[in-house]
Amino acid sequence: MSFNDNVQLDTSQVGSGGSGGGPGGMVVGGGIGGIILLIIALVFGINPGSLPGGTGTDPGTGGTGQVEPGGSTDPNAFAQCKSGADANRDDTCRVIATVNSVQAFWGDELPRYQRRYTPAKTILYSGSTRSACGTASNQVGPFYCPLDKKVYIDASFFQILTQQFGSSGGPLAQEYVVAHEYGHHIQDILGLLDRAQQDPQGAQSGGVRVELQADCLGGVWAHHATQTKDAQGTTFLKPLSQKDIDDALSAAASVGDDRIQQKTQGQVNPESWTHGSASARQKWFTTGYRSGNLNDCDTFSVANVE
Ligand SMILES: [Zn+2]
């Protein structure tokens, strides 16, 4: 979907990071098994091994205390992203506009459930950058790090999504990725993330239920997105078209565990799923999108998430 041209972007909600990734992060089409496996592990994902486990230690930071995760805050890094018109022609600006929209929505919505929304930055990086959950790179895909409360996205991932995973692309496909990661931040606020760590694998596992819930929360945002406004009262997004929805569903399906396993292993093993099947991911995004109601995203109480 498209942003209204005159909506104002707030680049203070994002940070920049990384530059050491070489020429443009050429993961696409590499066909290297190891890279694909890494993507399977973390596409759209939280890193289960990095979730707070009560031990207080995190191998990702090595305990040095001097790593400053979360990228730099160069005020000019996103100077090209000022308005919705910029978001409509530039992937990076589109991520920023989506972050603005998603955070504006949840900032209004969570208080209706007596919860306070705490803003979370997105680190837009190229190549690789440090997070409190370990190194972010364009080989691991977008993720949310609960340890530093930040979303990490390499804009080159959107090419991987279309070229390697076969998504149809389109603006809402990209916006869905951002909304899904902020879904994990909402889960973090609501205290739901540790269910992934307790039961990480399998078609009905806690891990899959966490991921499908993040898809549903992305759908809830999409439902309300065309009414969410910036600080000046300008609506962020124009009304959704069926093409927009089809793009988001295509993106959701393309990263279904069954699709990825079929493509990379030639067989499907539901017991090792971490994110859910293509059809389940579509189903839960659609559930959130249709009703716009957070309570319909309770993937934990249903017997079968498929
Ligand atoms: Zn996820």
CA distance linking residue 26 with residue 24, whole number of Å: 6
How many other C-beta atoms lie within 10 A of the C-beta of residue 251? 30
Q: pLDDT tier at 38 (50, 70, 90 boundaries)?
A: very low
Q: Give the tens place of pLDDT for each residue, 181-234.
A: 999 999 999 999 888 878 888 999 999 999 999 999 999 999 999 999 999 999
The predicted structure's pLDDT at residue 195: 83
Once rounded to an integer, what is the mean pLDDT over residues 43-51? 49
Residue 232 Cα to ligand 1 middle (Å) = 31
The predicted structure's pLDDT at residue 32: 34
Of 103 and 259, more confident = 103
Residue 73 Cα to ligand 1 middle (Å) = 25
Residue 230 Cα to ligand 1 middle (Å) = 26
Residue 16 Cα to ligand 1 middle (Å) = 21
- For the chain, give the percent of residues with pLDDT over 90: 54
The predicted structure's pLDDT at residue 84: 96
Residue 6 Cα to ligand 1 middle (Å) = 31
Residue 51 Cα to ligand 1 middle (Å) = 13
Residue 39 Cα to ligand 1 middle (Å) = 12
**Residue burial 151-177, b: 16+ Cβ < 10 Å; e: rest:** bbbbbbbbbbbbebbebbbbbbbbbbb
Residue 84 Cα to ligand 1 middle (Å) = 26
